[in-house]
């Protein structure tokens, strides 16, 4: 089966813009998560099959142990990581998405706090309290 360049597995006329949007979605996910959304765009890849099925709740839930994405970022990714290029968000819709045009500072801050809390829990970092005497007093101050 022949596939279009830049498209995960579509056959037929090549739409460069739709392919670029798919790539932008993969890059955006990677920038936010620190790892790609899938191993490869093939039926052997569980992540890709989940995207192909449009099961975004399962896709994002399976990534929750590694990354915490804001609701706005998830919504945008759900619109761009659509395997069918005809159902994928257009460039105009992508650029007009609220997550890109007017990020909510409270949402960003909440996401950063969640990410930090997750990191603390994951790495077992103890929270120090001022005056707790947890150090030996040998600071280089």
Assigned fold of 16-123: Transferase(Phosphotransferase); domain 1 (1.10.510)
Cβ pair 14, 4 in contact under 8 A: yes
Q: What is the pLDDT of residue 118?
A: 81
Q: What is the pLDDT of residue 131?
A: 46
Q: What is the pLDDT of residues 10-26, one digit of tens each?
A: 556 778 888 899 999 99
Cα gap 80→76, rounded to integer Å:
6
Candidates 63, 67, 57, 60; CA nearest to 34 is 67
Q: What is the pLDDT of residue 81?
A: 94
What are the b/e assignments for 86-108, b being 16+ CB within 10 Å? Answer: eebbeeeebeebebeeeeeeeee
Could you state, in order of their start, the residue ranges of all structural domains in the chain?
A: 16-123
Q: What is the pLDDT of residue 10?
A: 52
Residues 6+ apart with CB under 8 A from 54: 82
Q: What is the pLDDT of residues 57-105, one digit of tens each?
A: 999 998 888 888 889 999 999 999 998 999 999 999 999 999 888 766 7
């Amino acid at each position: 089966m022949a596939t279009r360049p830049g498209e995960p597995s579509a056959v037929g006329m090549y739409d460069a813009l739709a392919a670029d949007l798919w790539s932008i979605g993969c890059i955006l996910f990677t920038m936010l998560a620190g790892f790609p959304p899938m191993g490869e765009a093939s039926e052997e890849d569980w992540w890709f099959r989940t995207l192909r099925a449009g099961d975004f709740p399962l896709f994002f839930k399976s990534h929750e142990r590694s990354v915490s994405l804001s609701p706005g970022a998830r919504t945008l990714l759900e619109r761009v990581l659509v395997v069918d290029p005809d159902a994928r968000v257009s460039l105009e819709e992508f650029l007009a998405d609220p997550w890109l045009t007017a990020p909510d500072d409270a949402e960003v801050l909440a996401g950063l706090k969640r990410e930090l809390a997750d990191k603390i829990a994951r790495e077992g970092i103890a929270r120090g309290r001022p005056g707790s005497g947890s150090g030996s007093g040998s600071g280089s101050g």
